[in-house]
Amino acid sequence: MSSGADNITLQCLIVPCGGLHSLPRDQVVQTVTVGRSQKVSVLEAAIQSRLGAPFNTIRLKIRQVYPNEAPMQAQDLISTFFNEQPRPDYFHYLEKVLQEDYKISSGDITLIPQFKPVICPVDENSPEFKLCIDDILRKIRNMGPVVDSNEAIRCEYISTILHTALSLLEGLIITPQMKITGEINTGRVDYAIKKILDDLLEEIICITEGKQNQATMGICQNLLQCRSACDMNINMNKKK
């Protein structure tokens, strides 16, 4: 992302789902320059014109993923979301991560191999497990299931699971809505899990967001957040 006085150039990542599922991989990322004072509908039209038939008639749901995450409505002004001079190197950093860590030169994040979590045994008779299940069932009765719920409701359930997991370990704390400040990106994450090093020092070991869908955009956002968390850890280590 780069900008001039009146224009801004955006790197637009298109999630190939729905009517766009057959979109060629070389069209997943589009670079579009629009006026700051123009509406989001102009950005949508510019992206559609680059895609060509048969994709140029498909309505797009546009979301901002940097420096914050928010839906962008057609009537909104672009300056509402990008009202400051952005760092031009954040997208190049994403490409660098894909190239160096995953050997992906196309910029297609859908080629990142899926994470395979380690299966850990759970003692269903343990007090912590029973408390977790009871709390989840109570929240289902009070708020309803997670299907089609908003982020706040999803985080209610996620919080129960995370707190249960941390209660089984020592030396870890959880901080909801922690502000992560790095060289490229700054913003709040839903949860940060930190390791206590001593009375004054702590180290971020995990950050997570309450995502329901749009996993591809979530990966982009999380990569930037992980980089910012690393920056914070480095800065804290320098203060030792």
Last residue of a domain, one of 81, 111, 141: 111
99 and 167 both lie in a single domain: no
**Domain shared by 102 and 15, yes or no:** yes
Least confident residue range of 17-26, 169-178, 194-203, 227-236: 227-236
Q: Fill in the DSSP letter of residue 76.
A: S
The pLDDT tens digits for 162-196 are 888 888 887 888 888 887 766 655 667 788 888 87
43 and 13 inside one domain = yes
Round to whole Å and give the CA distance between 13 and 163: 34
Instruction: Say yes or no: 74 and 145 in one domain.
Output: no
Do residues 69 and 168 both lie within one domain?
Answer: no
CATH number for the domain spanning 24: value is 3.10.20
Q: How far is CA 154 from the centre of its chain?
A: 15
- Specify if 234 maps to a domain: yes
pLDDT above 70 covers what percent of the chain?
65
Q: Domain check: are 131 and 106 in the same one?
A: no
Residue 166 resides in a domain: yes
Which two tokens mark 173?
A: 């704390």
Digit-coded pLDDT (tens) for 32-42: 888 888 999 99
Q: Are residues 151 and 60 in the same domain?
A: no
Reported as a single tens digit per residue, the pLDDT across 84-123 is: 555 555 556 666 767 776 677 665 666 666 667 677 777 8
For 157, the domain range is 127-238
Q: Does pLDDT of 4 surpass 50?
A: no
Rounded average pLDDT over 15-21: 77
β-pair type (186-196, 62-64): unpaired
116 inside domain: no
Res 39: pLDDT: 92
Q: Could you give the CA distance from residue 13 to residue 28 in angstroms, rounded to a whole number?
A: 6
Mean pLDDT of 48-72: 84
Judgement on whether residues 82 and 134 belong to the same structural domain of the protein: no
| pTM for the structure as a whole | 0.48
- Choose between 227 and 142: higher pLDDT: 142
Domain count, the chain: 2
- What pLDDT is stored for residue 215 in this prediction? 56
Using only C-alpha atoms, the chain has a radius of gyration, in whole angstroms, of 21
111, 140, 169 — which closes off a domain?
A: 111
pLDDT in tens, 143-161: 887 766 677 888 888 889 8
Residue 205 belongs to a domain: yes
